[in-house]
Amino acid sequence: MSIEIMSRLTLDDLLDQLEQARQMAIEERKPTAMIQATVTTAKLLGLDKPVVKDVHADDVQTISELMNELSSEQAAITYKDIMG
């Protein structure tokens, strides 16, 4: 790909290409590739940067508490949606 063509790529173009790659990974049941496309998308959007917030320790839920809020039916549906 020439530099001229690369300079015409937009963030939306890159995000579209990553979404296509993620969909292919889902269809081919390749979770590692799917995760990589998702992580790369997050990085492009700047979502990999820490967000500093003023949080009280009492307001923080543990992973166990969060998992208890997700019913086994919801977990099964989410897993099926991801893995097909």
> One-letter amino acid identity for 81?
D
Using the structure block, give the residue that is written with the tokens 């917030």.
Answer: 53
Report whether 37 contacts 22 (CB < 8 A). Answer: yes
Give dist(CA 64, CA 61) in Å, integer. 8
Report whether 72 contacts 18 (CB < 8 A). Answer: no
User: pLDDT digits over 24-79, tens only?
Assistant: 999 999 999 999 999 999 999 988 888 777 667 666 667 667 667 777 787 777 77
- pTM for the structure as a whole: 0.50
- Contacts for 43-47 with beta carbons within 8 Å, 24 or more apart? 44/11, 44/14, 44/15, 44/18, 45/15
